Every structure is written in C-alpha cells, then in structure tokens.
Amino acid sequence: MVKSSYQIAQIRGIPIRVHFTLLLLLPLYALSFSNRLGFFSLFWSLLTTAALFASVALHELGHSMVALSQGCGVREILLLPIGGIAQLERIPTRPLDEFFMAAAGPAVSFLLSAVFFLAGLGTAALRWIAPTEAFLALSGINLMLALFNLLPSFPMDGGRIFRAWLTPYVGRLKATRIAARTGRFMAVLFGIWAVWPPFNPFLLVIAFFIYQAAGAEYRMVMIQEARKNQWGSPWPGGRWTYDDASVHVSPPPYQRGGRFSSFFARPLRQQHDLFNELFEKWR
C-alpha cells in the first residue's frame, strides 16, 4: 500500500501528518506567493509557506488541546493543500465545550497574527526587509485564517460556535439543522465565488467539502439523537465514538488568483504599505 501522508511530528501523542499532495504543491505555493506579493525571493517564499502550514498546524493543535482537556481523543492532525484537519474521536455535545473547542483554533490564529506582527515591527526597526515582509505576510494570513474560519460555515469553527449558541434555545438536533443549512448556503456562496472568473479550484474544493461535511454531520447528530431517545443518554453512561470521525478544517486563505486571494492579499498589501510609510519616517 502506498503511503498517502507522512508524519512530521508528534505533539502530546497527536501525530501531525503531511499529505503527499501538499508536499507536491508546496513549491508551487511558494512560487505563487512570490508572484502575487511581488516582494519575496524564492527562499523567503518557501520559508513563509512552511511557516504558514506550521501556523495551520498550530491552529489545529489549539482545537486539539481543548478537545483533549474535555476527554475527546484526537487521532491525528493532517495537513492538506486546502488546509488542516484535526480528526477528533468525537465532538463535545455540551454547547459550552463545543464553543471553547471551536474558538480555540481562531484564538491561536489571532495570537499568531499578533506575534508575527510584533516580530515584523522588530525586524522593521532593524531594517531587515525580507524577514519583515515575511512576518507581515504571516501576520496578515493568520488574521485572515482566523476570520475566514469564524464565518458561520458549519462545520467550520464559526458554524460550530453558531450551533453551540443555538443549542440551548432549540436543542442540539434543530441547532445542527439550522447550522448545517447555513453552512451549505455559505458553501454555495464559496462555490460561486470560486467559479466566478478567475477560477479558483482550491476554494471550489473547500466549498464541496463544507457542503458535504455539513450534511454528514447533521446525519450523525440525527443518529445520535435517535439512539439517545431509544436507549437513554449516552452521557455520562459510557464513552461513545463514531465510525465517521468528526473533522475540523481550517482552509488557509492564500490561494493564487481569484477574488478569494485578492480579497486576502489586500490586508497584506495594506500592512506592507503601512510599513513602507514607517520606513519613510525613519529615513
């Protein structure tokens, strides 16, 4: 059997794996980075791309650490060209638990954005141009990663927060149905955005994934609720795990071409301009 992914690290017992398609596409990402932003050398583009996927892994680790603290096992974190996936053994059913688990990823991304921004300020003060540009790009991307994931596109983070908020009012099943419908609507919007010229294949894959995953998770909750009604609550009676592992996805918003990327590239350019101004002042 051919291996499709390779383990690159293991943190608190969670294997972090890289899918081979990402390894194939990594140099292309770096190239598109350097083309689109126009201020990177290939070396810095590669380094920035690697740091970007490390950021995605840390985002997923944020979810995973909270999941572990709530007694939910984490099978692995898989890095794909469209983003990261934390495979959890189950999703917490208590709304507050789900809220903290879902919010942890964007919180890590916001934090990384701030750290990279401060690092950029530091290197800017020293007038190290290339690292400054790399840090600022990473700061902007992490900010967008947090914001994109907070959109209510269930089962992405924002959609999970939305469901956790709805659950006390309408119950878990109906909350999931509303969140899944909203998620599918968002997926359709992403799909239109993706095929609107210029075509963005990555966003289309993300749209398909969200559409499919929203339906799958709704079906899973339907089964859970049906079992609960039949045999009583599975919690705290025993540890329930499901064959269809729950997944957490964080698509990195940096694809080449398309409105998606131009939308996400804008804050990077703004930051870049901001720093040019700062440079001017110090000159």
Tokens of 154: 């269930």
Any contact of residue 5 with Zn ion (CB under 5 A)?
A: no
Q: Which two tokens stand for residue 23?
A: 């390894």
- Residue keyed to tokens 């703004």: 270
Nearest Cα to 139, choosing from 6, 280, 270, 3? 270
Contact stretch for Zn ion (CB under 5 A) within 5-13, 43-51, 123-131, 156-164 = 156-164
According to the binding rule CB under 5 A, does residue 105 interact with Zn ion? yes
133 part of the interface to Zn ion, by CB under 5 A: no
Indicate which residues carry an active-site annotation. 60
What angle in degrees, to the nearest 10, is found between the helix axes of 258-282 and 20-37? 50
Q: How far apart are CA 197 and CA 211, in angstroms?
A: 21
Query: How many other C-beta atoms can be found within 10 angstroms of the C-beta atom of residue 189?
Result: 13
The position carrying tokens 């934090």 is 111
CA distance 154 to 151: 8
Binding of Zn ion at residue 49 (CB under 5 A)? no
Q: How large is the greatest C-alpha to C-alpha distance in the chain, in angstroms?
A: 73
Query: Footprint of Zn ion on residues 194-253 (CB under 5 A)?
Result: 250
Nearer to Zn ion, 18 or 30 (CB): 18
DSSP conformational letter for 17: E
Asked if 157 is part of the footprint of Zn ion (rule: CB under 5 A), the reply reads yes
Q: How many Cα atoms within 13 Å fall on the side-chain side of residue 45?
A: 18
How many binding residues for Zn ion (CB under 5 A)? 4
* 59-98 footprint of Zn ion as x/- string (CB under 5 A): ----------------------------------------
Among 149, 153, 176, 246, binds Zn ion (CB under 5 A): 149
The nearer residue to Zn ion, 105 or 253, going by C-beta atoms, is: 105
Give the nearest distance from C-beta 98 to Zn ion in angstroms: 12
Q: C-beta of 240: minimal distance to Zn ion in Å?
A: 23
Least CB distance to Zn ion at residue 140 (A): 18
CB of 105 to Zn ion, least distance (A): 3
Which residues would be at the binding site for Zn ion (CB under 5 A)? Answer: 105, 149, 157, 250
